[in-house]
Amino acid sequence: MLSLKLPQLLRIHQVPRVFWEDGIMSGYRRPTSSALDCVLSSFQMTNETVNIWTHFLPTWFPELESPGLSKALRAGAFAYPFLFDNLPLFYRLGLCWGPGHSCGREALSPSHGYHLLCALLTGFLFASRLPERLAPGRFDYIGHSHQLFHVCAVLGTHFQLEAVLADMGSRRAWLATREPPLGLAGTVATLVLAVAGNLAIIAAFTASLGRAPSTCPLLQGGPLDGGTKAKHQ
């Protein structure tokens, strides 16, 4: 019978400093894990398991080469669509709260408020590293900020879609008189562009799998040696 051994988990001082997370003391995966170990760890309780299943994209590859740039790119990936998607909402807020108060009751829905709240919580959790900073080691597997960040992001997306549907319902008649209806060709073309863009992103990150771990200077010396060096710095 085929049996698979789950990868060994490491403590914080057993991995290079670049992989350390504030307040997370255990549950680290080996940085030089094979592709099979990465797949198996998705079904193992590590400090990344919840993140994997709530956001199953290989965003850790840029982390190996440029941790600071990777974090900035990930923050921008959330900030840019949030600002772009909410420009109409900010405009309506200006109409409602600005001089004249020229908005109607249908201008905002509860989903808009919930979406903004989730977005603010997402940014706060991403920057504050709470609650693990207050109790290092207590939230290694469940409840640390990265997991809560993912949950808030998912909830925010849900409420954003609910708000979009509410907007469409309240403005359907107005849009019908001012915008031509979107036909099948336009819908299919938009879908094809979205799928092609996502496939290109996946292909770019998947190409990193072919790189030997030794080519990355952050991983040279192995996790135990890297952790020992970090402790003496």
106 φ/ψ sector (left φ>0, alpha ψ -120 to 50, else beta): alpha
Give the H/E segment covering residue 127.
helix 110-128
Q: Is 150 annotated as a binding residue?
A: yes
Using the structure block, give the residue that is written with the tokens 């993912």: 150
Q: Is 146 annotated as a binding residue?
A: yes
**Distances, alpha carbon 2 to alpha carbons 5, 39, 44, 45, 133, in Å:** 10, 16, 18, 21, 41
Give me Rg for the CA atoms of the chain: 22
Strands (E) in the chain, as ranges, are none
Full DSSP string of 150-214: HHHHHHHHHHHHHHHHHHHHHHHHHHHHHSPPP-HHHHHHHHHHHHHHHHHHHHHHHGGGGS-GG
Provide the annotated binding site: 146, 150
* Residues placed in the known binding site for Zn(2+): 146, 150
